[in-house]
Amino acid sequence: METLLALIPPVLEGVRMVAQEEADATKFAISDDGIKFIGAGIAMGLGSFGPAIAIGNLVGRAMEALGRNPEAQPVIQTNMILGLAFAEAIAIYALVTAVMIGFVF
């Protein structure tokens, strides 16, 4: 969470630099397509961050549980695979959203 909060000032400064209205020839401008692709990249990056943390946490906890109770392997493995599928589905939703932002809208 601290990392995400630390990213806010540089992002705001970048937006402020892009939004400046200067009249000289070295003006930096981003087209509408560029902003769409930046938005798609941000959507995919943020949308895959949560599932990546969840998958790592889930597999790590499952390995700890298997180390403590190897007899419960079928139940633990079934629940782990089900949780992995749900976490991966959220990442796929983020991918679909990023593709829609980049190419449809």
Indicate whether 13 belongs to any domain.
Answer: no
Residue 64: predicted pLDDT: 95
Indicate whether 5 belongs to any domain.
Answer: no
The CATH number given to whatever domain includes residue 71 is: 1.20.20.10
Residue 23: predicted pLDDT: 47
Taking alpha carbons only, the member of 57, 45, 36, 39 closest to residue 3 is 45
64: containing domain? 31-104
Residue 101: predicted pLDDT: 87
Residue 20: predicted pLDDT: 60
Indicate whether 38 belongs to any domain.
Answer: yes
Residue 27: predicted pLDDT: 64
Domains in the chain: how many in total? 1
Residues of the chain with pLDDT under 70: 1-7, 14-29
DSSP-derived 3-state class of residue 104 = helix
Residue 66: predicted pLDDT: 93
Indicate whether 1 belongs to any domain.
Answer: no
Name residue 36's amino acid. K
Torsion on CA atoms 56, 57, 60, 65, rounded to nearest 10: -150
